[in-house]
Structure 1
């Protein structure tokens, strides 16, 4: 008999080979779909479709559960501060700053949820808890809440986005070298968020502390005044603590973690 010159077919009983063969057309189709994808087109679904896909229990807000998260995080903040103060060692302070800076941001996230109304169904509870949490980390609650709403309404818009306002390539090229170095090198990133709160993003005017800023409508001015007053009250409290306990302890316990949380 003539010798067989063609390669034998893969046995159909080999599950690995069979699965690979079945996946090949799917992968090819997936690659083609990726190439044909146009990011500029509206998505093939609406926000209502996304909401409908979320299980019903995920929409139910539990104030007790939300407050338990606040109690937990506040307890961790207090425990970290107490432990660092008791140990008072330069081997411990850097660890404390990193951990406490992270916890300051955890408090910010809880206040963020209050601003979105996802903390509870009570506007009063959201406002009280949001003010307590954000004031502690020197964020004007209502001023930031309102501008953050604008951010979500214009997310990704190169001109109208609020907090994530991108710099165009032409604007970057026109910047002086000193401006680039200051903006994109340390220590500027440590100050970026406080500077944003006072002066907004580059190319935008206004302040989160000024009730007359174009960030806010006339009916929102009282809310901004309340938050700004809370912010200055916290500043006064920190100054009083520095007068009683000394500037260095306040910087160790609060100042450095605050800077870390702004990174």
Structure 2
């Protein structure tokens, strides 16, 4: 069975829906504009990017071990953490079943990519599916959804810390306790995140995650906490910052609308994200900044997103959001201006005090 029948995004079902929308284009219009080959994953290409990332990670470890210099380690942490993030993006394709046409290979490679960087593959995959199926919905979105003004005004210290001040370190906490106002661990099959039929998927990924933790514990016992700090913990923190930075910026922008109730549709939500330019890092992290096309066509491999984007931009016109602003400026602007949305209204935008 191929990913065409098993793909969790159920793209064909979405295309068949007659959405009530005021957008001047349909999902079918956008798909028709994209070359058919963009939707076809290539095992050779996917494995190339995986092997390239692993080779760079191995090389960086070899250099760091060889030099063993505190002058080099800060550089190593930034570079290796960035490569951890690149490896996550390859696993992200696996989660979308766009690494290959074979579900067993996608899930196997997803564990290979995600377990070493302490991501429970299936637990993440399933909650990420919820995010993609409900992007832009104030009630049902899973990731980086805004607070209402009244929620913002009564938020406690920890909620404010996680949402507005230390949000670039939020991901590990999200895995264990989810987002404010929602409950459920990514490690427990009894979590409300999961269906009963997904029990063994969740258990499998939790076992893989636990095995990696146990390995790190053993190596720390053998070589000490300083070894863990130098070779794993600091690159992991950089990886978490990258993950939170990119996902935050793709869904947190003053010009992007959010929807309540029956005003929301899949296509409205899918186009309510933004492409970002990360400069020279674009290719290193597999052009993950091409985010609009990814949200519209969830099962498209990352290496075809730029071609697809070029095809749909003329059709989408003003509904295609992109920013060429330096990332640090975008981050400061969003952190300042994207605090909450109004308590009322079916189509709302971020605002601030």
Change (3 A) 1:233 1:166: same
Using the alignment, how far apart are the partners of 1:176 and 1:72 within structure 2? 44
1:97/1:257 contact within 8 Å kept: yes
Q: CA deviation at 1:165?
A: 2.4
Instruction: Please list the CA deviations of residues 16-73 of structure 1 after superposition, one character each: whole Å capped at 9, or x if unmatched.
Output: xxxxxxxxxxxxxxxxxxxxxxxx9531222122111111221221101100110000
1:190/1:259 contact within 8 Å kept: no
Which of 79, 96, 110 in structure 2 is aligned with 1:99?
A: 79
2:162/2:170 contact within 8 Å kept: no
**Counterpart in the other structure of 1:34:** none
Q: Are residues 1:235 and 2:208 paired? A: no
Using the alignment, how far apart are the partners of 2:173 and 2:225 within structure 1? 23
Root mean square deviation, CA, Å: 1.6
Aligned positions, number: 222
**Counterpart in the other structure of 2:70:** 90
Greater percentage in helix: 1
Using the alignment, how far apart are the partners of 1:206 and 1:64 within structure 2? 37
**Counterpart in the other structure of 1:31:** none
Which of 47, 55, 76 in structure 2 is aligned with 1:75?
A: 55
Q: CA deviation at 1:193?
A: 0.2
Q: CA deviation at 1:181?
A: 4.5
Query: How does 1:1-263 map onto structure 2 within 5 Å?
Result: 42-176=22-156, 180-181=160-161, 183-185=163-165, 188-263=166-241
1:206/1:213 contact within 8 Å kept: yes
Change (3 A) 1:128 1:177: closer
Q: Which has the larger radius of gyration?
A: 1
Q: CA deviation at 1:167?
A: 1.6
Q: Which moved more, 1:173-182 or 1:232-241?
A: 173-182
SS of residue matched to 2:200: helix
2:159/2:180 contact within 8 Å kept: no
Using the alignment, how far apart are the partners of 2:162 and 2:100 within structure 1? 41
- Scaled by the length of structure 1, the TM-score of the pair is 0.80
Change (3 A) 1:223 1:261: same
Greater RCO structure (CA 8 Å; 6+ sep): 2
Using the alignment, how far apart are the partners of 2:214 and 2:74 within structure 1? 26
1:165/1:201 contact within 8 Å kept: no
Change (3 A) 1:177 1:198: closer
Q: Which moved more, 1:245-254 or 1:74-83?
A: 245-254
- Scaled by the length of structure 2, the TM-score of the pair is 0.60
Q: CA deviation at 1:164?
A: 2.0
Using the alignment, how far apart are the partners of 1:153 and 1:109 within structure 2? 19
Q: CA deviation at 1:180?
A: 2.8
Using the alignment, how far apart are the partners of 2:198 and 2:84 within structure 1? 27
Runs of 4+ in 1 over 2 A off after TM superposition: 175-185, 188-191
